[in-house]
Amino acid sequence: MTTCRDILERLIDEGWFSVSRSLSDVVAEIGRRGYSYDSTAIAHGLLDLVREERLVREGVPRRYTYRARQGREAVVGGEVEEKQGEGGLGAEVA
């Protein structure tokens, strides 16, 4: 049996989240692929993936978008910043 989480992880792995997607975008894509999950279940799955730092959530409540985390991003104070590596450019993480 394919779980909602399995489908979300597959979308990440396929690069579907390389651009920001709304919850309604995700629900529609999962439906397009032939699966039927309640939007609440999908939202919980997305939040779990945000907490595990596989996805980034941006925006304001009820209008969040989700995208795949870029390799060196860090979440600081609820905002995404670029980590500074050795000799690298980017915002310093406090």
11-66 pLDDT, tens digit per residue, is: 999 999 999 999 999 999 999 999 999 999 999 999 999 999 999 999 999 999 99
| pLDDT tens string 55-70 | 999 999 999 999 999 8
Q: Which tokens go with 30?
A: 């999962």
pTM, 2 dp: 0.75
Q: Which tokens go with 79?
A: 């905002």
Domain 4-69 belongs in CATH node 1.10.10.10: yes
Domain ranges of the chain: 4-69
Helix (H, G, I), strand (E, B) or coil at 94: coil
